[in-house]
Amino acid sequence: MSFSKFVSLVLIFHLLTPALVFSSSLSSSNGLSGIPKKFLDFAKRKEFVDWIVGVRRKIHENPELGYEEFETSKLIRSELDKLGIPYKYPVSVTGVVGFVGTGGPPFVALRADMDALPIQEEGDWEHRSKIPGKMHACGHDAHVSMTLGAAKILKEHVQEINGTVVLVFQPAEEGGGGAKKMVDEGVLDNVDAIFGLHVTHEDAIGTVASKSGPIFAGSGFFTAVISGRGGHAALPQHSIDPILAASNIIVSLQHLVSREADPFDSQVVTVGKFQGGSAFNVIPDSATIGGTFRAFLKTSLIQLKQRIEEVIKGQAAVLRCNATIDFHDKPVPLFPPTVNDNDLHEHFLEVAGDMLGNDKVKDLKPLMGSEDFAFYQEAIPGYIYLIGMQDESSPKLGAVHTPQFTINEDVLPYGAALQASLATTHLLKAELKPRSTEGHTHDEL
Ligand SMILES: [Zn+2]
Ligand SMILES: [Zn+2]
């Protein structure tokens, strides 16, 4: 190709670029672009806002830990009853699975996690946690109410739903692997895609952030008991010191990432727990350490697990100690990395862009935190995004997993409308696509 031809092709490409970007929006692809804004307008109506805020406050007042979400689950069922939405219960102890739409295929799912954390809420407000030592400090009260909000929007526009939206209210996201249990119970059988969201204080209200591919790390946990032989601190030659062995182990564990991992393959090993001894002048019989490891590749996670075991046992042996290790992987195995599907990312960009404006849809840097949403993504294509809560004119909201965590309730209509829009337009797009018969042999869940 001559240079001039190349230049003219480049020019043509650049001239076409705005049109290409525009053509990626729902408006030009199939006339669905009005749906996200219409749903947001619906969700911003006063009666809707009053209702969704009320639901969230009720859940916030009564936080329940993983697999104990009985009252939360009851509240969800009573709201679904009021909306006339059928559901399955119980699923995975406290889980609820609702269905809005035709009752037939295609199926698309929305996920909400229901559990709270063992944290004492700080600050005094009318609807603070009424349960001492427990708090919705990760925003799952908001996620449940937004998903109920999506259900209300969907029910109100049920004639526009070409298929069925499956509402997945799961227990035990915070380390209990509730999502894994839900998948094992067949909640996603015949479901084409699942969408999840998480509130964040890092981004402004009215904005969302996500990415295609790995977004949150996979994780594992370990506890190791290092056993030696206790004795008088002044006579170490008669003892086998587990404190020193545990110390060497902790230092050696830090070499796994710094010396063995590819620097471009982000990984973390943290020992967050070290217990042993109770007196200045006594060498104890044993010491206990515990920690977590993170990676974005499942192979790296498995490699870390294997090396953590080898290092703990090997370093314990160097100092004549024994070590037993528990990886806390039963019944829930390692948490896999959370990996967003690329086609669903494109869908999200269109829908969120149509609702909020393209400049409000941000690219998210991957985070080393993990999410049990990953278990859904191991089963079917899935997509999770962060939804901003920070009002720029207000003081900075408290961070997740702290006693100061706060929800800006203005986020609730946004989450409800966006989830409802993602599901509805996904189903409508499925109608426009030629359907393959493969994997769709059943007509019901
Ligand atoms: Zn959390
Ligand atoms: Zn959370």
CA 368 – ligand 1 centroid, Å: 13
Length of the chain counted residue by residue: 445
For 404-441, write each residue's pLDDT tens digit: 999 999 999 999 999 999 999 999 998 877 655 444 44
**Average pLDDT, stretch 257-272?**
97
Asked if residue 7 has pLDDT above 70, the reply is no
> What is the structure's pLDDT at 25?
56
DSSP state of 96: E
The domain limits of the chain are 25-215+337-432, 218-326
Domain covering 218-326, topology? Alpha-Beta Plaits (3.30.70)
Confidence category of residue 126, pLDDT binned at 50, 70, 90: very high
Residue 139 dihedral angles phi and psi, to the nearest 5°: 80, 15
| Ligand that lies nearest to the alpha carbon of residue 373, given by its number in the listed order | 2
Confidence (pLDDT) at 433: 74
Could you tell me whether strands 382-390 and 208-210 are parallel, antiparallel, or unpaired per DSSP bridges? antiparallel
What helix, strand, coil percent values describe the chain, rounded to 5?
40, 25, 35
pLDDT in tens, 11-22: 333 333 333 333
Nearest ligand by distance to the CA of 175:
1
CATH number, span 25-215+337-432: 3.40.630.10
Distance CA 139, CA 146 (A): 11
- Identify the band that residue 30 occupies on the pLDDT scale cut at 50, 70 and 90: low
Could you say which ligand is closest to the alpha carbon of residue 199?
A: 2
Q: Which two tokens stand for residue 398?
A: 């408290």
Cα of 115 from ligand 2 centre, angstroms: 9
User: What's the gap in Å between 174 CA and the centre of ligand 2?
Assistant: 7
Q: How far is the CA of 393 from the centre of ligand 2 (A)?
A: 25
The yes-or-no verdict on residue 324 having pLDDT over 70 is yes
- Residues with CB under 5 Å of ion ligand 1 are 138
Percent share of the chain, pLDDT over 70: 90
199 close to 387: Cβ distance less than 8 angstroms? yes
Q: CA angle 370-383-98, nearest 5°?
A: 100
CA of 165 to the centre of ligand 1 (A): 25
Burial category of 403 from C-beta neighbours within 10 Å (exposed 0-12, middle 13-18, buried 19 and up): middle
- Tell me the average pLDDT across 65-80: 98
Å from CA of 113 to ligand 2 middle = 8
Residue 418, CA atoms < 13 Å, CB-side half-sphere: 36
Element (H, E) at 151: helix 140-156
The whole-number pLDDT of residue 173 equals 97
Taking 80 as the threshold, does the pLDDT of residue 311 lie above it? Answer: yes
Q: What is the pLDDT of residue 435?
A: 53
Whole-angstrom Cα Rg for the chain:
25
pLDDT score of 17: 38
Structure tokens at 234: 């002044």
